[in-house]
Structure 1
Amino acid sequence: MPRPRDVVTERPTILFVGINPGATSGKVGHHFAGPGNPFYRLLFASGLTSEQLVAADDQRLVEWNYALVNIVGRTTRTAAELTREELVRGREQLARKVKAMKPEVVALVGVTLYPIVFGRTSTPGPGPKPELLEGARVFVVPNPSGLNATYPTFEAKLPWFVALAEFANVKARASRR
């Protein structure tokens, strides 16, 4: 199965971090490729991108100075299938990637990532977090997956992506770098 490749750029404005590829992403080799996954629609609707992208465009995120990685590379139907060892290894790899890329903001895509990355939930839920990750500010957005029962609709997720754009000060940047 083709694994989605990391989307990498030096000093990205935002480094988006997913937990791991879902079944469709693992099949096609692109991030957030599930049939009902609105990740790219959320980026466009929030002003984070000036074009409506699709999963096959994931490598184009660098055009807006964004990067995208997963904590764990293994494809699963749900994140619950991941082992504790995979998550610990993934957390260590993420720290190395953040240190190498030096993003301004790390956007954890899914509230379950926050305790995985930091080992605690001092401020649960989406939004800005007080911790820094290798010097980068941290923001959590809801997981865009249709399996997300807490934020099940596009409308429930969109305000958090808008808030991320404001937090990263990219809302006004309608054009590519």
Structure 2
Amino acid sequence: MDRQRADPLHVRRLPARLCPKPRILFVGINPSLASARVGHHFAGPGNPFYRLLHAAGFVPEPLAFADAVRLPEFGLALTNIAERATREAAELTPDDYARGRTRLARTIATIEPAVVAFVGGTAYRQFFGPSASPGPGPKPERIGDAAVFVVPNPSGRNAAYPGFADKLVWYRQLRNWARDQVR
């Protein structure tokens, strides 16, 4: 058995943070090893996801990664397209993504979000295919009744949007755009 498959962090599944009819369902690629280690999404050192949520006005107070259980209080939900934790998304297999697409479609049909916000273009392209329109912002596709938006991945490895302010612009745009998408 290879080291990756034998590592218990690679098999740990983080619980999705879901609620019925959220305003926004955030969909990441997959958990990082840091997230798997502590059992919370976007828990990598320096990952600004929760700071972005506060600075963009999605939540009224700063949240730490351990506060993700509170996201439903604010009409927000959180999951990943692939469940398996990895050091990098490149370690995911086509099977990881295929299972993830099926599970995500089922989750969206069940909880009925107004908006599905893919956290990064990789998650978006893995769901819609390689011809999906590039870049962040509102997208033409819908998933059931849910509108679709892409925000930059908050990871510090995101070279296209390296700074907090570069990412914050898109999270604020999502917040404003999502107000118009409420059914």
TM-score by length of 2: 0.90
- Report if the CA contact (8 A) 1:108-1:138 is conserved: yes
Distance in 2 (CA, whole Å) between partners of 1:94 and 1:135 is 14
* More RCO (CA 8 Å, sep 6+): 1
Query: Residue in 2 aligned with 1:165?
Result: 175
Distance in 2 (CA, whole Å) between partners of 1:93 and 1:122 is 20
Distance in 2 (CA, whole Å) between partners of 1:62 and 1:154 is 24
Query: Residue in 1 aligned with 2:72?
Result: 62
* Unaligned residue ranges in structure 2 (runs of 5+): 1-8
Distance in 2 (CA, whole Å) between partners of 1:122 and 1:29 is 31
Distance in 2 (CA, whole Å) between partners of 1:13 and 1:120 is 27
Distance in 2 (CA, whole Å) between partners of 1:70 and 1:114 is 11
Work out the number of aligned pairs and report it. 170
Runs of 4+ with >4 A deviation: none
Distance in 2 (CA, whole Å) between partners of 1:121 and 1:143 is 19
Q: Matched residue of 1:107: which SS?
A: strand
Within the candidate set 135, 153, 162, 1:152 is matched to 162
Query: Residue in 2 aligned with 1:28?
Result: 38
* Partner amino acid, structure 1, of 2:14: P
The answer to which structure has the higher helix fraction is 2
Distance in 1 (CA, whole Å) between partners of 2:163 and 2:131 is 24
* Unaligned residue ranges in structure 1 (runs of 5+): 171-177
Q: Matched residue of 2:179: which SS?
A: coil
CA RMSD after TM alignment? 1.2
TM-score by length of 1: 0.93
Deviations 1:137-174, CA, capped at 9 Å, x for gaps = 0000000011111111101100000000001119xxxx
Query: Residue in 2 aligned with 1:89?
Result: 99
Query: Residue in 1 aligned with 2:25?
Result: 15
